[in-house]
Structure 1
Amino acid sequence: MTIETDVLVVGGGATGAGVARDLALRGVDVTLVERGGLTSGTSGRSHGLLHSGARYAEADRVGAEECIAENRILKEIAGACIRDTGGLFVQLSADDPEYFEAKRAACEDVGIPVETLDAEEARQRVPELAADTERAFEVPDAVIYPSRLVAANAADARDHGATIHPHAPVEDVIVDDGAVTGVQVGGAVDDTIKADYVVNATGAWAGEFASMAGLDVEMRPTRGVMVSVEYDDLGPVLNRCRDPDDGDIVVPHESEAVLGTTSVPVRDPDDYETEQWEVEESIAECAAMLPPVADASEVRTWWGVRPLYAPDEDERGGRGISRGFFLLDHADDGIDNMASIVGGKLTTYRQMAEATTDLVCDTLGVDGDCRTADQTLASVDDPEQLDSLVAEFDGQGPTDQDVVGAE
């Protein structure tokens, strides 16, 4: 028997769950399907940094403004999904002092709070910082636990009427007369879903899903490695204050530090090689800032795939600093009831979801304002309940494996 819904969201990462939540809060009947457990794609395989925007400030003002705005919102609504650690941008002796000055000035111009520390003050914050630390500046970076965040969004969506289906892979998309008329879903659903509108929130897999509908969404995914090591005395996030490169971020967890990352193009986000040099490079470069991690015991290693949009990558000429998002209304391509949301960052998932939901509601004639920035997410004051939701949605990813459900 065919399932009917107003909106079908395909993709159960942060953005897809965020879209489902936003739609449900606006009174729209929404169904979400994810081929694996929730968070099984890019969202659950990140380094878990909640950006302040400082990383983008001098190169992408708009992106930096988006990050600091969303950083503040998530700290208000996401409770135990967030660990508010603060962050440091660290200049070592080999780093360009003019880059430090430019980034700090750009942060101040954007409105990102900045406090400059000399070398001694920086080592008071992080006693084991490198001996050749010249100075640092402090920004409101934080740590985000994506498994909890996605589960909280999905649960809040469900509490407001949404239907959430993990382990429900899309097998076919039926297009007729300029519209998607049905989506064949296997796994836990094993049925056809008819929807008035379809949202492609599959991240790095957006091109594959779009092709099922006869659309061309050109993605250019890159892989990046994360290495978690035993280290329980860090405090703030550490960012190397230089042009973005391999191994320039260290993210603190309670008893571990996550070191990252690399950027290597891949053809297939499901089937790609991984190289030991990426692990070694990330450890060595992060150890330049924090020497003890060079000899720390490795706990786990994972790779994630960034959902980069090819036209943006072409315009910027390869690895760049911008990680903006792109909302593609496929009415422009001849299919009136489908959109793809691509690119972006975990930090800006809620804003991406809001923009997508605005488009869907405008198309369907739904009158309702976004409330996701003001309404606290489900169960975020109860870590145990959050972790139960993660388990229910089979949403455990490697990013926060040491925290979620830990004894």
Structure 2
Amino acid sequence: MTDPTALVAGGGATGAGVARDLTHRGVDVTLVDRDGLGGGTSGRSHGLLHSGARYAESDPVGAEECIQESRVLRDIAGECIRETGGLFVQLSADDPEYFDAKRASCESVGIPTTVIDGDAARAAVPGLSDDVERAMRVPDAVVYPSRLVAANAADARDRGATVHVDAPVEGMTVEGGRITGVELGGSVGERIDPDYVVNAAGAWAGQVAAMAGLDVGMRPTRGVMVSVEYDDLGPVLNRCRSPDDGDIIVPHDSEVVLGTTSVPVTDPDDYPTDEREVERTYRECGAMLPQTVDAPEVRTWWGIRPLYAPDEDERGGRGISRGFVRLDHAEEGVENFASIVGGKLTTYRQMAEATADLVCDRLGVDAECMTADRRLPGVDDPDRLDAFVTEFDGQGPTDADVVESRT
């Protein structure tokens, strides 16, 4: 195997996005993941493309990032996105001042909103609870992460990148303040010597960094998602209250995804689950859309959020926007190594751009980011996108009802 200029460890949305961005700038890249692409956090989300409204009052900078990036993805991602719109609904038990503050915050960062009364909301969403007093339209949408990750990887591959699934990073050698070798297991089974290494392993970033003798403090949390049979829900539904369990319902074709919870875990590979979280998710989502309580369950899955501990301490935990953090490990004595942690699926491309900027600066590559202006491959053809998913073993539970397996 030829040594690449840059090795990207972690094939979720951010890692695939970094690989794509770097290849557009002319950098030779190898992308590896221990499983299929998107097998970690990206493929186990609720599939909400955030407008930013969820974070508007708690983190206006993060909210502005979301609205900007969601518009970019609508331009470049085609059938990876489903345009649905969103509603933030206020139930009778919810604080009306919170609703008003959220609307004002949305307007201040450029997120368009329209307020409708409860009757208009029920006319727009049949089956919506009689307890809904008013609602606010926002430009939320649905993202199919399996397709999005695979399309980014396909674009990188088409531009010369090497992509390996089933290729875990098993060790690193650091000599003279540089990573001089990376041991890859699984389908590769050999050592390579990249000029630069990007750690995009998400909730597992701490484990990858530890191989280089570094401490990247992650604080992962688990969350449950439940997909149930439900036809013809139009917009994404959000409960208009401080973020809590069971306050998002995401529509697919003939299903809806109910989510989610937030419970700290110590090991992203080995953690307990609690059926009470599933029950609470049903109950809380049912307060918005009552028929979901008794709807037939299709599948249940748990996702792990890749939260960065210092950032969480600063922001105050749940309910505050999940910002991303780029760590240049040259500051800790390993000059050709960086980690990208935290963030949201909606802002993956921006995270990748920030990371690629650093890599290019360290490699002496003078090239600007072009990923916001170039459409991903295959995005006008769902069959082609789904073939990419199969190629990279990228099917996750989030969009299993939409993405057609080509095995």
Contact in 1 for aligned 2:324/2:340 (Cα 8 Å): yes
Match of 1:227 in 2: 226
Match of 1:113 in 2: 112
Match of 1:348 in 2: 347
Say whether 1:249 aligns with 2:238. no
Per the TM alignment, residue 121 of structure 1 is displaced from its structure 2 partner at its CA by: 1.0
Kindly provide the amino acid, as one letter, of the partner of residue 237 in structure 1.
V
Match of 2:63 in 1: 64
CA distance in structure 1 between the partners assigned to 2:120 and 2:138 by the alignment: 14
Per the TM alignment, residue 322 of structure 1 is displaced from its structure 2 partner at its CA by: 1.5
Match of 1:395 in 2: 394
CA distance in structure 2 between the partners assigned to 1:179 and 1:96 by the alignment: 54
Match of 2:186 in 1: 187
CA distance in structure 2 between the partners assigned to 1:232 and 1:162 by the alignment: 41
Kindly provide the amino acid, as one letter, of the partner of residue 28 in structure 1.
V
Per the TM alignment, residue 399 of structure 1 is displaced from its structure 2 partner at its CA by: 0.2
Per the TM alignment, residue 319 of structure 1 is displaced from its structure 2 partner at its CA by: 2.1
Match of 2:268 in 1: 269
Kindly provide the amino acid, as one letter, of the partner of residue 105 in structure 2.
A
SS of 1:280's equivalent in the other structure is helix
1:93-112 to structure 2, matched below 5 A, reads 93-112=92-111
Contact in 2 for aligned 1:91/1:133 (Cα 8 Å): yes
CA distance in structure 1 between the partners assigned to 2:387 and 2:313 by the alignment: 42
Per the TM alignment, residue 125 of structure 1 is displaced from its structure 2 partner at its CA by: 1.2
CA distance in structure 2 between the partners assigned to 1:47 and 1:320 by the alignment: 16
Per the TM alignment, residue 303 of structure 1 is displaced from its structure 2 partner at its CA by: 0.2
Q: Which runs of 5+ in 1 are unaligned?
A: none
Match of 1:165 in 2: 164
1:202-253 Cα distance to aligned partner (Å, 9 max, x none): 0000000000000000000000000000001210000000000000000000
Say whether 1:139 aligns with 2:138. yes
Q: Which runs of 5+ in 2 are unaligned?
A: none
CA distance in structure 2 between the partners assigned to 1:172 and 1:320 by the alignment: 36
1:71-117 Cα distance to aligned partner (Å, 9 max, x none): 00000100000000000000000000000000000001110010111
Kindly provide the amino acid, as one letter, of the partner of residue 163 in structure 1.
T
Match of 2:3 in 1: 4
1:73-92 to structure 2, matched below 5 A, reads 73-92=72-91
Number of aligned residue pairs: give it: 406
**Runs of at least 4 residues off by over 4 Å:** none
**Aligned-residue CA RMSD in angstroms?**
0.9
1:44-63 to structure 2, matched below 5 A, reads 44-63=43-62
Kindly provide the amino acid, as one letter, of the partner of residue 8 in structure 2.
V
Kindly provide the amino acid, as one letter, of the partner of residue 198 in structure 1.
V
Match of 2:375 in 1: 376
Contact in 1 for aligned 2:17/2:348 (Cα 8 Å): yes
Contact in 1 for aligned 2:39/2:396 (Cα 8 Å): yes
Contact in 2 for aligned 1:38/1:151 (Cα 8 Å): yes
1:233-276 Cα distance to aligned partner (Å, 9 max, x none): 21000000000000000000000000000000000000001110
Kindly provide the amino acid, as one letter, of the partner of residue 290 in structure 1.
L
% identical equivalent positions: 73
Match of 1:258 in 2: 257
1:148-183 Cα distance to aligned partner (Å, 9 max, x none): 000000000011111100110111111101000010
1:46-93 Cα distance to aligned partner (Å, 9 max, x none): 000000000000000000000000000000100000000000000000
CA distance in structure 2 between the partners assigned to 1:316 and 1:394 by the alignment: 35
Kindly provide the amino acid, as one letter, of the partner of residue 176 in structure 1.
E
Q: TM-score, normalised by structure 1?
A: 0.99
Q: TM-score, normalised by structure 2?
A: 0.99
Per the TM alignment, residue 133 of structure 1 is displaced from its structure 2 partner at its CA by: 0.6
Contact in 2 for aligned 1:38/1:395 (Cα 8 Å): yes
- Worse-matched range after superposition: 115-124 or 54-63: 115-124
1:255-309 Cα distance to aligned partner (Å, 9 max, x none): 0000000000000000001110010000100000000000100000000000000
Kindly provide the amino acid, as one letter, of the partner of residue 278 in structure 2.
V
Say whether 1:294 aligns with 2:274. no
Match of 1:337 in 2: 336
SS of 2:194's equivalent in the other structure is strand
SS of 2:403's equivalent in the other structure is coil
CA distance in structure 2 between the partners assigned to 1:188 and 1:36 by the alignment: 10
Kindly provide the amino acid, as one letter, of the partner of residue 103 in structure 1.
K
CA distance in structure 2 between the partners assigned to 1:163 and 1:359 by the alignment: 21
Contact in 2 for aligned 1:3/1:192 (Cα 8 Å): no
Say whether 1:303 aligns with 2:333. no
Match of 2:212 in 1: 213
1:113-161 Cα distance to aligned partner (Å, 9 max, x none): 1011111111111011110110001000000000000000000001111
Match of 1:17 in 2: 16
SS of 2:37's equivalent in the other structure is coil
CA distance in structure 2 between the partners assigned to 1:319 and 1:29 by the alignment: 38
Say whether 1:278 aligns with 2:274. no
CA distance in structure 1 between the partners assigned to 2:291 and 2:26 by the alignment: 52
SS of 1:359's equivalent in the other structure is helix
CA distance in structure 1 between the partners assigned to 2:231 and 2:338 by the alignment: 43
Per the TM alignment, residue 316 of structure 1 is displaced from its structure 2 partner at its CA by: 2.8
Match of 1:317 in 2: 316
Kindly provide the amino acid, as one letter, of the partner of residue 289 in structure 2.
L
CA distance in structure 2 between the partners assigned to 1:59 and 1:189 by the alignment: 44
CA distance in structure 2 between the partners assigned to 1:160 and 1:366 by the alignment: 17
